Chains A and B, each alone.
Chain A
């Protein structure tokens, strides 16, 4: 019995230590497949997520070190722009959650104060990207101001219509972001017909 228990303890320790808890995604997204083998970076990343129903979500991390507190800084900047004052409590909540959000800045306060996931769900209408009130552009602008080393990821659902993605790409290019990383799943492709020569 003792060797088995020893082994179990070891395994358990290993799995606990290697486990990475990823915050739940704001919306379920089936990413397309590609042959790219570059793994995703852990930090300095902002993700624009485009869900199946054409909603746009945004996520950004706290930076390589948690004391940098990038998330609350960005939210505070956004609040300043829209004359919304976020309490320290709300900023802390925003920092801790680490999840992507699809909430317009006007709903952000109510979204952060909501207690349950169901209550929060109501506000997840997607971030406005129309030219009259392009909040995604501002999120990207402030993120790049707060963290200049940030890299842009686009995580789109395979079935999303291209014009929506195009809109996001155009907007990123307007903000001088020309280098993107598309998040994909790994697919094995063997180029056989090329080897015949």
Chain B
């Protein structure tokens, strides 16, 4: 390092820097820094918004001559999202004369229990698998674990096939909630479809409104 040699300026001592007294008052700087830290801490967004992926089945266009996929009636579970966080469900195929809608809600004992009852086998398989991983009986990486669960779901052939429909007064929140329930309960096969006019009328009846929809009016 280069050394700075100070010139002696005579013996009057005035130009000589005084030693031991070279303090800078840091208080304003500290004040400012604490303010800035507070500001950045409060504005820092540590939690990123989360995303939930859904994949809808491809639409069958009118000009295409493709039959919609057939599903077993016995495994079908229809869920209709109603107004005021109500959920209606019925198994099988809609028949205006026979089908009675069951009403439930989004609480842990509501629709989740209904889904769980039907998806017991698969849910248990996934749960067992997760427990084993936690206990260390199976050594698996985090990403392969997701794939393994996906495979379990793929191989499942007893669980329900859930068709989700929304009545016209349902809220977006209900839609997110029901898809969320699907992942909580581990439903392997679910999709979102348009509500049929029969179901539209059934919901109207359950709500005590005069049914309005006829064949062709409801989308």
Chain A residues in contact with chain B, CB under 8 A? 1, 4-5, 8-9, 11-12, 15-16, 18-20, 22, 31-41, 50, 153, 156-166, 169, 173-174, 176, 178-186, 189, 191-195, 197
CB–CB B81/A162 < 8 A:
yes
- Nearest 3 CB-CB pairs, A to B? A15-B40, A158-B173, A36-B52
Q: Interface SS of chain A: helix, strand, loop or mixed?
A: mixed
CB–CB B113/A182 < 8 A:
no
Asked if B48 CB lies within 8 Å of chain A CBs, one says yes
Indicate whether A40 sits within 8 Å of B37 (C-beta atoms), given known contacts A50-B172, A159-B172.
no
CB–CB B56/A178 < 8 A:
yes
- Cα distance A101–B112 in the bound complex, in angstroms: 38
CB–CB A182/B30 < 8 A:
no
- Chain B residues touching A, range: 35 or more
Q: Pick the contact of B170: A22, A162, A180, A189 (CB < 8 A).
A: A162
CB–CB A40/B50 < 8 A:
yes
Indicate whether A40 sits within 8 Å of B54 (C-beta atoms), given known contacts A19-B43, A162-B168, A163-B168.
no
Indicate whether A184 sits within 8 Å of B53 (C-beta atoms), given known contacts A32-B172, A158-B172, A165-B175.
no
Chain A: CB-nearest residue to B46: A18
- Cα distance A22–B52 in the bound complex, in angstroms: 21
Asked if B174 CB lies within 8 Å of chain A CBs, one says yes
Chain A: CB-nearest residue to B124: A197
Within the complex, what minimum Cβ distance (angstroms) separates A135 from chain B?
A: 21
11 A-B interface contacts by CB (under 8 A): A12-B37, A15-B40, A32-B176, A34-B176, A39-B48, A160-B172, A161-B172, A174-B59, A183-B49, A191-B108, A193-B108
